Structure 1
Amino acid sequence: MPNPDFTQKLQDLAQKVGITSFQALSKAAGVSERQILRLRRGEVEQMRVDVLLKLSSVLQVSLNELVTTFSLLELSKGNEVSTQQMLQEIADLKKEYQRSQLQIAQQRELLLQEFQQSSLQLLESLLLQFPAAAQKARENPQFEAVKILPLVENPLKKLLQAWGIEAIAPIGAEIPYDPQIHQLMTGTVQPGELVKVRYSGYLQGEKLVYRAKVSLIEPV
Protein backbone atom coordinates (compact mmCIF):
# COMPACT_ATOMS: atom_id res chain seq x y z
CA MET A 1 0.00 0.00 0.00
CA PRO A 2 1.56 3.36 -1.02
CA ASN A 3 2.32 5.89 1.64
CA PRO A 4 -0.48 8.47 2.01
CA ASP A 5 0.21 12.00 0.86
CA PHE A 6 -1.67 14.90 2.44
CA THR A 7 0.51 17.52 0.73
CA GLN A 8 -2.28 18.97 -1.37
CA LYS A 9 -4.64 19.22 1.60
CA LEU A 10 -2.01 21.08 3.60
CA GLN A 11 -1.26 23.39 0.68
CA ASP A 12 -4.95 24.20 0.33
CA LEU A 13 -5.30 25.04 4.04
CA ALA A 14 -2.13 27.13 4.02
CA GLN A 15 -3.17 29.10 0.95
CA LYS A 16 -6.50 29.98 2.58
CA VAL A 17 -4.58 31.89 5.25
CA GLY A 18 -2.12 33.43 2.80
CA ILE A 19 0.80 31.06 3.38
CA THR A 20 2.41 30.04 0.10
CA SER A 21 5.12 27.57 1.13
CA PHE A 22 5.81 24.93 3.75
CA GLN A 23 8.90 26.87 4.81
CA ALA A 24 6.71 29.90 5.50
CA LEU A 25 4.25 27.70 7.41
CA SER A 26 7.08 26.32 9.50
CA LYS A 27 8.24 29.83 10.36
CA ALA A 28 4.74 31.17 11.05
CA ALA A 29 3.86 28.30 13.39
CA GLY A 30 7.28 28.11 15.04
CA VAL A 31 7.69 24.41 14.29
CA SER A 32 10.34 22.55 12.33
CA GLU A 33 9.92 21.63 8.68
CA ARG A 34 10.27 18.01 9.79
CA GLN A 35 6.98 18.39 11.68
CA ILE A 36 5.38 19.80 8.54
CA LEU A 37 6.60 16.74 6.64
CA ARG A 38 5.08 14.43 9.25
CA LEU A 39 1.74 16.17 8.83
CA ARG A 40 1.96 15.74 5.05
CA ARG A 41 2.58 12.02 5.58
CA GLY A 42 -0.42 11.64 7.86
CA GLU A 43 1.68 10.94 10.94
CA VAL A 44 -0.45 13.21 13.09
CA GLU A 45 -0.82 10.54 15.79
CA GLN A 46 2.94 10.70 16.40
CA MET A 47 3.12 14.49 16.71
CA ARG A 48 3.25 16.39 20.01
CA VAL A 49 0.10 18.19 21.04
CA ASP A 50 1.88 21.56 21.35
CA VAL A 51 3.01 21.26 17.72
CA LEU A 52 -0.54 20.44 16.61
CA LEU A 53 -1.89 23.39 18.58
CA LYS A 54 0.53 25.78 16.90
CA LEU A 55 -0.34 24.47 13.44
CA SER A 56 -4.08 24.53 14.06
CA SER A 57 -3.81 28.13 15.25
CA VAL A 58 -1.87 29.30 12.19
CA LEU A 59 -4.07 27.34 9.77
CA GLN A 60 -7.17 28.66 11.55
CA VAL A 61 -8.79 25.26 12.01
CA SER A 62 -9.81 23.47 15.18
CA LEU A 63 -7.53 20.87 16.68
CA ASN A 64 -10.10 18.15 15.99
CA GLU A 65 -10.41 19.20 12.36
CA LEU A 66 -6.65 19.19 11.92
CA VAL A 67 -6.34 15.70 13.37
CA THR A 68 -9.20 14.19 11.38
CA THR A 69 -8.00 15.84 8.16
CA PHE A 70 -4.47 14.48 8.39
CA SER A 71 -5.07 11.23 10.26
CA LEU A 72 -4.24 7.86 8.70
CA LEU A 73 -7.13 6.38 10.64
CA GLU A 74 -9.51 8.17 8.33
CA LEU A 75 -8.23 6.14 5.37
CA SER A 76 -9.74 2.84 6.44
CA LYS A 77 -13.29 2.02 7.49
CA GLY A 78 -14.15 0.72 10.90
CA ASN A 79 -11.71 3.02 12.67
CA GLU A 80 -14.24 5.56 13.90
CA VAL A 81 -13.85 4.38 17.49
CA SER A 82 -10.07 4.57 17.29
CA THR A 83 -10.30 8.06 15.82
CA GLN A 84 -12.60 9.22 18.58
CA GLN A 85 -10.30 7.73 21.19
CA MET A 86 -7.35 9.55 19.66
CA LEU A 87 -9.29 12.82 19.57
CA GLN A 88 -10.20 12.40 23.23
CA GLU A 89 -6.58 11.75 24.11
CA ILE A 90 -5.54 14.87 22.22
CA ALA A 91 -8.27 16.89 23.94
CA ASP A 92 -6.92 15.69 27.29
CA LEU A 93 -3.39 16.57 26.21
CA LYS A 94 -4.60 20.00 25.14
CA LYS A 95 -6.02 20.61 28.61
CA GLU A 96 -2.79 19.43 30.17
CA TYR A 97 -0.80 21.66 27.82
CA GLN A 98 -2.94 24.67 28.77
CA ARG A 99 -2.47 23.90 32.46
CA SER A 100 1.28 23.68 31.90
CA GLN A 101 1.30 27.02 30.08
CA LEU A 102 -0.60 28.60 32.96
CA GLN A 103 1.86 27.18 35.47
CA ILE A 104 4.79 28.48 33.41
CA ALA A 105 3.21 31.95 33.27
CA GLN A 106 2.64 31.90 37.03
CA GLN A 107 6.22 30.74 37.67
CA ARG A 108 7.54 33.46 35.37
CA GLU A 109 5.56 36.08 37.28
CA LEU A 110 6.82 34.71 40.60
CA LEU A 111 10.44 34.75 39.39
CA LEU A 112 10.00 38.31 38.16
CA GLN A 113 8.64 39.37 41.55
CA GLU A 114 11.53 37.65 43.33
CA PHE A 115 14.01 39.32 40.99
CA GLN A 116 12.46 42.74 41.58
CA GLN A 117 12.41 42.20 45.34
CA SER A 118 16.07 41.17 45.51
CA SER A 119 17.05 44.13 43.31
CA LEU A 120 15.09 46.53 45.51
CA GLN A 121 16.86 45.18 48.59
CA LEU A 122 20.25 45.84 46.98
CA LEU A 123 19.15 49.35 45.99
CA GLU A 124 17.44 50.11 49.30
CA SER A 125 19.85 52.84 50.45
CA LEU A 126 19.69 54.50 47.04
CA LEU A 127 15.90 54.48 46.96
CA LEU A 128 15.55 55.81 50.50
CA GLN A 129 18.39 58.35 50.74
CA PHE A 130 19.04 59.64 47.23
CA PRO A 131 15.76 61.60 46.74
CA ALA A 132 16.31 63.42 50.04
CA ALA A 133 19.95 64.19 49.21
CA ALA A 134 19.01 65.40 45.74
CA GLN A 135 16.33 67.70 47.16
CA LYS A 136 18.84 69.08 49.65
CA ALA A 137 21.25 69.81 46.81
CA ARG A 138 18.53 71.66 44.89
CA GLU A 139 17.61 73.75 47.93
CA ASN A 140 21.21 74.58 48.88
CA PRO A 141 23.52 75.56 46.00
CA GLN A 142 26.49 75.31 48.39
CA PHE A 143 25.84 71.61 49.01
CA GLU A 144 28.68 69.57 47.57
CA ALA A 145 27.29 67.20 44.95
CA VAL A 146 30.23 64.84 45.55
CA LYS A 147 28.58 63.87 48.83
CA ILE A 148 25.74 62.25 46.87
CA LEU A 149 28.04 59.98 44.89
CA PRO A 150 28.36 57.21 47.53
CA LEU A 151 24.56 56.97 47.64
CA VAL A 152 24.61 55.98 43.98
CA GLU A 153 27.93 54.19 43.68
CA ASN A 154 27.65 51.80 46.61
CA PRO A 155 24.22 50.28 45.75
CA LEU A 156 25.24 50.05 42.12
CA LYS A 157 28.43 48.20 43.03
CA LYS A 158 26.45 45.78 45.20
CA LEU A 159 23.96 45.16 42.41
CA LEU A 160 26.68 44.48 39.83
CA GLN A 161 28.53 42.18 42.23
CA ALA A 162 25.32 40.25 42.94
CA TRP A 163 24.83 39.71 39.20
CA GLY A 164 28.48 38.81 38.60
CA ILE A 165 29.09 41.87 36.41
CA GLU A 166 32.54 43.48 36.36
CA ALA A 167 33.84 46.63 34.71
CA ILE A 168 36.29 46.03 31.88
CA ALA A 169 38.50 48.90 33.02
CA PRO A 170 38.14 52.06 35.11
CA ILE A 171 37.46 55.38 33.39
CA GLY A 172 40.68 57.19 32.55
CA ALA A 173 42.80 54.04 32.44
CA GLU A 174 45.23 53.65 29.56
CA ILE A 175 45.06 50.08 28.28
CA PRO A 176 45.99 48.09 25.13
CA TYR A 177 43.26 48.30 22.52
CA ASP A 178 41.23 45.10 22.09
CA PRO A 179 38.50 45.34 19.41
CA GLN A 180 36.69 42.42 21.01
CA ILE A 181 35.82 44.36 24.15
CA HIS A 182 36.59 47.98 23.24
CA GLN A 183 34.73 50.43 21.00
CA LEU A 184 36.89 53.17 19.50
CA MET A 185 34.98 56.45 19.57
CA THR A 186 36.92 58.22 16.80
CA GLY A 187 39.94 57.65 14.60
CA THR A 188 41.80 54.42 13.99
CA VAL A 189 44.16 52.37 16.12
CA GLN A 190 45.82 48.99 15.87
CA PRO A 191 45.13 46.20 18.38
CA GLY A 192 47.60 46.41 21.24
CA GLU A 193 48.16 50.16 21.00
CA LEU A 194 47.35 52.13 24.14
CA VAL A 195 43.97 53.84 24.32
CA LYS A 196 42.17 55.75 27.06
CA VAL A 197 38.92 54.49 28.61
CA ARG A 198 36.14 57.07 28.38
CA TYR A 199 33.13 54.94 29.33
CA SER A 200 33.28 51.71 31.31
CA GLY A 201 32.27 48.50 29.60
CA TYR A 202 31.08 45.41 31.43
CA LEU A 203 31.57 41.65 31.40
CA GLN A 204 29.37 39.04 33.05
CA GLY A 205 31.74 36.15 33.42
CA GLU A 206 32.96 35.56 29.87
CA LYS A 207 29.91 37.23 28.32
CA LEU A 208 30.30 40.75 26.97
CA VAL A 209 27.52 43.03 28.23
CA TYR A 210 28.78 46.40 26.93
CA ARG A 211 32.01 47.32 25.17
CA ALA A 212 34.17 49.90 26.88
CA LYS A 213 34.29 53.11 24.83
CA VAL A 214 37.88 54.26 24.31
CA SER A 215 39.67 57.09 22.53
CA LEU A 216 43.11 57.78 21.15
CA ILE A 217 45.69 59.11 23.59
CA GLU A 218 46.50 62.67 22.66
CA PRO A 219 50.26 63.34 22.40
CA VAL A 220 51.66 65.57 25.12
Structure 2
Amino acid sequence: MPNINCTQKLQNLMQRVGISSFKALSRTAGVSERQILRLRQGKLEQMRVDVLLKLSPVLQISLNELIENFSSVELLQNSVAPTQELLQEIADFKIEYDRLQVQLEQQREILLQELQQSTLQLLESLLLQWPTAAHKAQENPELAAVKIVPLVQKPLEKLLQAWGVEAIASVGAEVLYDPQLHQLMDGSSQPGEKVKVRYTGYLQGDKLLHRAKVSPV
Protein backbone atom coordinates (compact mmCIF):
# COMPACT_ATOMS: atom_id res chain seq x y z
CA MET A 1 0.00 0.00 0.00
CA PRO A 2 1.15 3.57 -0.56
CA ASN A 3 3.15 5.13 2.24
CA ILE A 4 0.94 7.91 3.68
CA ASN A 5 3.94 10.11 4.44
CA CYS A 6 5.43 9.77 0.93
CA THR A 7 2.04 10.30 -0.70
CA GLN A 8 1.55 13.53 1.23
CA LYS A 9 5.04 14.73 0.34
CA LEU A 10 4.37 14.06 -3.32
CA GLN A 11 1.00 15.82 -3.21
CA ASN A 12 2.63 18.86 -1.57
CA LEU A 13 5.23 19.04 -4.36
CA MET A 14 2.55 18.60 -7.02
CA GLN A 15 0.40 21.34 -5.51
CA ARG A 16 3.39 23.69 -5.54
CA VAL A 17 3.83 23.25 -9.31
CA GLY A 18 0.10 23.18 -10.13
CA ILE A 19 -0.34 19.45 -10.89
CA SER A 20 -3.73 18.27 -9.66
CA SER A 21 -3.55 14.47 -9.81
CA PHE A 22 -1.17 11.52 -9.95
CA LYS A 23 -2.47 10.78 -13.46
CA ALA A 24 -1.60 14.33 -14.54
CA LEU A 25 1.87 13.93 -13.04
CA SER A 26 2.30 10.67 -14.95
CA ARG A 27 1.26 12.34 -18.21
CA THR A 28 3.35 15.51 -17.70
CA ALA A 29 6.54 13.64 -16.76
CA GLY A 30 6.03 10.91 -19.35
CA VAL A 31 6.31 8.05 -16.84
CA SER A 32 3.88 5.26 -15.98
CA GLU A 33 1.43 5.47 -13.08
CA ARG A 34 3.14 2.35 -11.68
CA GLN A 35 6.33 4.40 -11.25
CA ILE A 36 4.35 7.13 -9.48
CA LEU A 37 2.95 4.46 -7.13
CA ARG A 38 6.46 3.26 -6.31
CA LEU A 39 7.40 6.82 -5.40
CA ARG A 40 4.36 7.06 -3.12
CA GLN A 41 5.37 3.76 -1.52
CA GLY A 42 8.86 5.06 -0.76
CA LYS A 43 10.42 2.50 -3.12
CA LEU A 44 12.67 4.96 -4.92
CA GLU A 45 15.55 2.43 -4.99
CA GLN A 46 13.43 0.23 -7.29
CA MET A 47 12.96 3.02 -9.85
CA ARG A 48 15.15 3.54 -12.92
CA VAL A 49 17.44 6.56 -13.13
CA ASP A 50 15.74 7.86 -16.30
CA VAL A 51 12.37 7.91 -14.49
CA LEU A 52 13.83 9.96 -11.63
CA LEU A 53 15.43 12.35 -14.12
CA LYS A 54 12.02 12.91 -15.75
CA LEU A 55 10.23 13.48 -12.43
CA SER A 56 12.69 15.87 -10.77
CA PRO A 57 12.35 18.79 -13.29
CA VAL A 58 8.57 18.41 -13.42
CA LEU A 59 8.40 18.62 -9.62
CA GLN A 60 11.02 21.41 -9.75
CA ILE A 61 13.38 19.77 -7.28
CA SER A 62 16.88 18.40 -7.76
CA LEU A 63 17.65 14.70 -7.99
CA ASN A 64 19.30 14.89 -4.57
CA GLU A 65 16.14 16.38 -3.04
CA LEU A 66 14.01 13.69 -4.70
CA ILE A 67 16.21 10.99 -3.17
CA GLU A 68 16.20 12.64 0.26
CA ASN A 69 12.40 12.96 0.26
CA PHE A 70 11.40 9.56 -1.08
CA SER A 71 14.23 7.11 -0.38
CA SER A 72 13.26 4.44 2.15
CA VAL A 73 16.78 4.69 3.50
CA GLU A 74 16.16 8.30 4.46
CA LEU A 75 12.77 7.48 5.97
CA LEU A 76 14.27 4.79 8.19
CA GLN A 77 17.60 6.39 8.92
CA ASN A 78 16.87 6.69 12.66
CA SER A 79 16.49 2.92 13.04
CA VAL A 80 18.44 1.40 10.15
CA ALA A 81 21.84 2.59 8.97
CA PRO A 82 22.11 2.80 5.17
CA THR A 83 24.29 0.11 3.64
CA GLN A 84 27.37 0.93 1.62
CA GLU A 85 25.68 -0.63 -1.40
CA LEU A 86 22.70 1.73 -1.19
CA LEU A 87 24.93 4.72 -0.70
CA GLN A 88 26.88 3.69 -3.78
CA GLU A 89 23.65 3.36 -5.80
CA ILE A 90 22.63 6.88 -4.79
CA ALA A 91 26.07 8.17 -5.74
CA ASP A 92 25.72 6.40 -9.11
CA PHE A 93 22.35 8.11 -9.61
CA LYS A 94 24.05 11.47 -9.12
CA ILE A 95 26.87 10.61 -11.54
CA GLU A 96 24.38 9.46 -14.19
CA TYR A 97 22.31 12.62 -13.66
CA ASP A 98 25.35 14.86 -14.11
CA ARG A 99 26.37 12.93 -17.22
CA LEU A 100 22.94 13.32 -18.78
CA GLN A 101 22.90 17.03 -17.94
CA VAL A 102 26.19 17.48 -19.81
CA GLN A 103 24.84 15.43 -22.73
CA LEU A 104 21.66 17.54 -22.92
CA GLU A 105 23.71 20.74 -22.89
CA GLN A 106 25.90 19.41 -25.71
CA GLN A 107 22.84 18.43 -27.74
CA ARG A 108 21.32 21.88 -27.18
CA GLU A 109 24.52 23.50 -28.45
CA ILE A 110 24.59 21.25 -31.52
CA LEU A 111 20.95 22.07 -32.35
CA LEU A 112 21.66 25.79 -31.98
CA GLN A 113 24.63 25.55 -34.31
CA GLU A 114 22.56 23.60 -36.88
CA LEU A 115 19.80 26.24 -36.71
CA GLN A 116 22.32 29.04 -37.17
CA GLN A 117 23.95 27.24 -40.10
CA SER A 118 20.66 26.58 -41.92
CA THR A 119 19.58 30.20 -41.36
CA LEU A 120 22.86 31.52 -42.72
CA GLN A 121 22.45 29.33 -45.81
CA LEU A 122 18.98 30.77 -46.44
CA LEU A 123 20.33 34.30 -46.03
CA GLU A 124 23.48 33.66 -48.08
CA SER A 125 22.59 35.96 -50.98
CA LEU A 126 21.69 38.76 -48.57
CA LEU A 127 24.94 38.37 -46.62
CA LEU A 128 27.00 38.46 -49.80
CA GLN A 129 25.23 41.22 -51.72
CA TRP A 130 23.85 43.59 -49.08
CA PRO A 131 27.18 45.19 -47.98
CA THR A 132 28.00 46.01 -51.62
CA ALA A 133 24.52 47.39 -52.30
CA ALA A 134 24.65 49.52 -49.13
CA HIS A 135 28.05 50.87 -50.15
CA LYS A 136 26.77 51.80 -53.60
CA ALA A 137 23.76 53.54 -52.08
CA GLN A 138 26.07 55.65 -49.90
CA GLU A 139 28.18 56.56 -52.93
CA ASN A 140 25.08 57.39 -55.00
CA PRO A 141 22.19 58.74 -52.86
CA GLU A 142 20.00 58.92 -55.98
CA LEU A 143 20.15 55.15 -56.49
CA ALA A 144 16.57 53.88 -56.66
CA ALA A 145 15.58 51.94 -53.56
CA VAL A 146 13.49 49.61 -55.72
CA LYS A 147 16.72 48.08 -57.03
CA ILE A 148 17.92 47.25 -53.52
CA VAL A 149 14.65 45.92 -52.06
CA PRO A 150 14.84 42.49 -53.78
CA LEU A 151 18.22 41.85 -52.12
CA VAL A 152 16.46 41.91 -48.76
CA GLN A 153 13.00 40.71 -49.73
CA LYS A 154 13.85 37.45 -51.48
CA PRO A 155 16.14 35.94 -48.78
CA LEU A 156 13.67 37.03 -46.09
CA GLU A 157 10.76 35.41 -47.93
CA LYS A 158 12.80 32.22 -48.33
CA LEU A 159 13.62 32.16 -44.62
CA LEU A 160 10.00 32.73 -43.56
CA GLN A 161 8.81 30.02 -45.95
CA ALA A 162 11.33 27.54 -44.52
CA TRP A 163 10.06 28.28 -41.00
CA GLY A 164 6.39 28.04 -42.01
CA VAL A 165 5.74 31.73 -41.32
CA GLU A 166 3.05 33.47 -43.38
CA ALA A 167 2.08 37.13 -43.63
CA ILE A 168 -1.47 37.92 -42.49
CA ALA A 169 -1.90 40.48 -45.29
CA SER A 170 0.34 42.61 -47.48
CA VAL A 171 1.00 46.25 -46.67
CA GLY A 172 -1.57 48.51 -48.32
CA ALA A 173 -4.21 45.80 -48.64
CA GLU A 174 -7.78 46.57 -47.58
CA VAL A 175 -9.20 43.76 -45.44
CA LEU A 176 -12.12 43.14 -43.10
CA TYR A 177 -11.24 44.04 -39.54
CA ASP A 178 -10.64 41.05 -37.27
CA PRO A 179 -9.50 41.94 -33.71
CA GLN A 180 -7.84 38.52 -33.41
CA LEU A 181 -5.53 39.27 -36.34
CA HIS A 182 -5.45 43.06 -36.54
CA GLN A 183 -4.37 45.87 -34.21
CA LEU A 184 -5.83 49.33 -34.75
CA MET A 185 -3.23 52.09 -34.88
CA ASP A 186 -5.78 54.89 -34.69
CA GLY A 187 -9.51 55.53 -34.79
CA SER A 188 -12.04 52.76 -34.23
CA SER A 189 -13.55 49.97 -36.30
CA GLN A 190 -16.08 47.23 -35.77
CA PRO A 191 -15.35 43.62 -36.75
CA GLY A 192 -16.13 43.14 -40.42
CA GLU A 193 -15.50 46.77 -41.41
CA LYS A 194 -12.82 47.59 -43.97
CA VAL A 195 -9.37 48.57 -42.71
CA LYS A 196 -6.06 49.21 -44.44
CA VAL A 197 -2.91 47.29 -43.52
CA ARG A 198 -0.10 49.60 -42.42
CA TYR A 199 2.29 46.96 -41.03
CA THR A 200 1.95 43.29 -41.89
CA GLY A 201 1.53 40.63 -39.19
CA TYR A 202 2.61 37.00 -39.16
CA LEU A 203 1.24 33.53 -38.44
CA GLN A 204 3.23 30.34 -37.95
CA GLY A 205 0.75 27.57 -38.59
CA ASP A 206 -2.09 28.18 -36.12
CA LYS A 207 0.10 30.33 -33.86
CA LEU A 208 -0.19 34.13 -34.05
CA LEU A 209 3.25 35.74 -33.94
CA HIS A 210 2.32 39.39 -34.55
CA ARG A 211 -1.00 41.05 -35.33
CA ALA A 212 -1.10 43.21 -38.46
CA LYS A 213 -1.34 46.94 -37.66
CA VAL A 214 -4.24 48.60 -39.48
CA SER A 215 -6.12 51.88 -39.83
CA PRO A 216 -9.79 52.52 -40.65
CA VAL A 217 -10.55 53.12 -44.34
TM-score (normalised: structure 2): 0.72
Query: How far is 1:169 from its partner?
Result: 0.6
- Is 2:82 aligned against 1:80? yes
8 A Cα contact 1:67 1:87, kept in partner: no
The residue number in structure 1 matching 2:146 is 146
Structure 1: 5+ residue runs without aligned partners? 11-21
Q: Does residue 183 of structure 2 align to residue 180 of structure 1?
A: no
| SS of aligned partner of 1:71 | helix
Aligned to 2:209: 209
- Describe the SS at the equivalent of 2:197: strand
In structure 2, what is the Cα distance between the partners aligned to 1:31 and 1:92? 29
- Between the two proteins, the alignment pairs up a number of residues equal to 197
* Alignment map for 1:190-201 (pairs within 5 Å): 190-201=190-201
Whole-Å separation in 1 of the counterparts to 2:105 and 2:20: 24
Cα displacement string for residues 40-94 of structure 1 (whole angstroms, at most 9, x for unaligned residues) = 996665786546696469xxx98987778972232434x532xx33322121111
**Identity of paired residues, percent?**
58
For the pair 1:110 / 2:113, whether they are aligned, the reply is no
Q: Structure 2 stretches of 5 or more lacking a match?
A: 26-37
The answer to whether the Cα contact below 8 Å between 1:187 and 1:216 also exists between their aligned partners in 2 is yes
Q: Does the CA contact (< 8 Å) of 1:198 and 1:212 recur in 2? A: yes
Select between 42-51 and 132-141 the one with higher mean Cα deviation.
42-51
Change (3 A) 1:182 1:46: farther
Query: Per-residue deviation at 1:32?
Result: 9.3
RMSD of aligned alpha carbons:
3.9
Q: TM-score, normalised to structure 1's length?
A: 0.71
CA distance in 2 between partners of 1:52 and 1:137 (Å): 57
Secondary structure at 1:172's aligned position in 2? coil
User: What is the correspondence of 1:116-127 to structure 2 with a 5 Å cutoff?
Assistant: 116-127=116-127
Computing the radius of gyration over CA atoms, which structure comes out larger, 1 or 2? 1
